Amino acid sequence: MALDYPFRDPALAALALTHRSAGRPNNERMEFLGDALLGAIVAEMLYETHPKAAEGEMSRLRAQLVNGQALASLARELELGDQLKLGSGELKSGGFRRDSILADAFEALVAAVYLDGGFEACRETVRALFVDRVAALPRSSKDAKTRLQEWLQGQGWPLPQYELVATEGEEHARVFEVNCVVTEPVAVVAPGRGSSRRLAEQDAAEVVLTRLAGVQEGS
């Protein structure tokens, strides 16, 4: 499958596929721009297709779609490995097959489309590439505590612990403060507040899900 975008300036596409091992100029700056564009456009798609999803759930879904392995898979579908310009060392070590190099090239190519045709052309190109992937995502209606527990169990990590920190206010207007504590994949202690202990735990679990999504995106 080839990228369905006709470049007016083919030099931009060539630069996007030039790894730093090949010298300068290379695609490092374009990777930075492409990463930001991808995040925004995929976020827009999730906002449209998951109208009931909370911020934490959308962050986790975006992390599933925009990560090194997923982007490398897209790069392989576009056969970018055969078009990469690599230095001799990377060529000998099979850099054209490496996930990190392929993912970076894909991000840079997204930036190249933006620089060549503007935001709307970039948006249309990215949405076409991700539409089936977004459609395949689960549409969860589960609460935050359930989603957090199931996600941790699926990774083989310890279950979260909930600690009551404080109870404030009169009995008819009580506010509960709870901490949700997880130890893997990173240590997180997240606060939550609610008019019942259960709602405070849900609030804290949502905070943990958001933070773990950020960890996944940065990995």
* Residue-by-residue DSSP string for 159-188: PPEEEEEEEES-GGG-EEEEEEEE-SSS-E
Catalytic residue among 107, 116, 177, 201: 107
Question: Known catalytic residue: 217?
Answer: no
Quickly tell me which residue has 């958001």 as its tokens.
210
Question: Which residues have C-beta within 8 Å of that of residue 62, sequence separation ≥ 6?
Answer: 39, 42, 43, 46, 213, 217
Catalytic residue among 35, 57, 104, 203: 35
> Kind of pairing, strands 188-194 and 175-182?
antiparallel
Helix, strand, coil in percent for the chain, rounding step 5: 65, 10, 25
Question: Known catalytic residue: 107?
Answer: yes
Alpha-carbon span 34 to 16, nearest angstrom: 10
Instruction: Report DSSP state, residue 5.
Output: -
Q: Provide the token pair at 92.
A: 């000998």
Alpha-carbon span 210 to 54, nearest angstrom: 10
Known catalytic residues are 35, 107
